[in-house]
Structure 1
């Protein structure tokens, strides 16, 4: 072996031993932090974001996305030394919800796979899960109304802890050749997001909606069936990827909320979300929003949903920039004009471009 190469590899081995020792020391300190916290929540997204930001700044010449991923996994490992979180998300394994969960929390968590957003909230409320992750909005297909409706029916303890954006990259996967495909299965949104590609390449195949993309990947083990799913779901189910990036829009992205029963700390430049209803009379919505306008608050999304048991009356979900504590006077003034108002959370967000609104 080349002497210079052997020496350099020796240096790498020495550095790796130092890294392993440092990670072990960090994990021990994390356990001590867990004891010091007592009953306080293990997950602190505000603190974790700040730690990752400093780590990236200390290594400014390296790939920032890769650095964030590395340190997120270290944080996730150390967090699990305090208490390994159980996170409810839409499944089965390989779903986009699982990928969003790992992007937000790292892989040192236990996923509890359920069938939809309402089941995610129910798992958290009943104590089966520490936290949950739910899809909120897609840049192509719009709002996930099941999430908004499910949130509206939760107890006031339920809150948004973090927001995460996940690029959606669909593949066509099957256990057979493309010429043998008789039907394509996937979540209705995934089928819609890949409509043009499917019409061009598989015009004669039936398009069958199923509960989730990862469930479709499981069904595609049957010969003659293909799935529109993630590459991860295809790998988990032993499928061949027949085509990549089949989504019609190249910038297809879904935002997710990490939800739980504790509010995030104030973080300065965060987003906040509220739910409210107003009297059923002309101008009441405009009146309710006026305190936010007066304070110069930038609204990033507003959605209405029918109020159960009250025909033609609505609940409104509103996203805005800023921490709710800094908007306390506006919230107080707004509350005087609403029948109901509930703060859903102030939280860190990795979105650079607002959705909706």
Structure 2
């Protein structure tokens, strides 16, 4: 019953048992042979005929009584016979346990000695204790291996969950909802988690040889799955955008404001229509009787026909004299052909101010 209770204890309790057994074995390893006190003996010299006569006066009868009551014993031969009996019984067992005891003595040599010593006749106690210590160490070793395998199984499951975090978050949003009464319903999500553990998680643990730990690891993995699925993903780092300074990473709306700013630097009234709505025009600029419509495109690829069509329609809508597409990117050949037909200018933003100066020098340009 004792060993059954030890088996059910946590690992740290088993370690405590092992340490206690080692401390006890320290005394066994350092034990010294303690001779037994010889039995009570009476020699013939002490209780001879003269001694008997001195006691009761009947020399012969008293001598026989005393000789019968106090027989002479030989302690050395008696102890030798006992040792012989013990050694004959345990010689076969000692051959098996010698190696175990050597290991135990080596481990316990650095431990403090006990305040008592064990007799050589109690060797059986040391052998039994050696077996107990060996068993405890064996059980601790098995518990350590199982614990290590379990932790590795949990870590493997968590890596799988992390690799599927984005998909789990989408499924959670799809399956967790509020009913007409405002109660959050998790039924479909719970079924989804159970199916995930039975399929994806079990297959993953099978591949790594941890399938025996699926039942034990399931509560911890389910809790971690919920944590990942309900976690709000981190917001992507916002790129710094300044409408006063051009950057290929700037916001498209700030790019429109940047182009309008270039026109205002030359004395034009320029408005970015993203602030008030547009009809295909991103910037409407005017000075005197001249109005210019700009379509601003912050692209990473070549600008196509759509931009040319939009600015051509906006020029007619606003009654502008000039229309231009301004971009940081090149233009496709079809866009260049369509722009030539509709008299639309295709510009890079670095060319915008130079284009405005040419407009100001044209004969059709008048300032009120």
**What's the TM-score, normalizing by structure 2?**
0.19
Structure with greater helix percent: 2
**What's the TM-score, normalizing by structure 1?**
0.20
Bigger relative CO (Cα 8 Å, ≥ 6 apart): 1
Structure with greater strand percent: 1
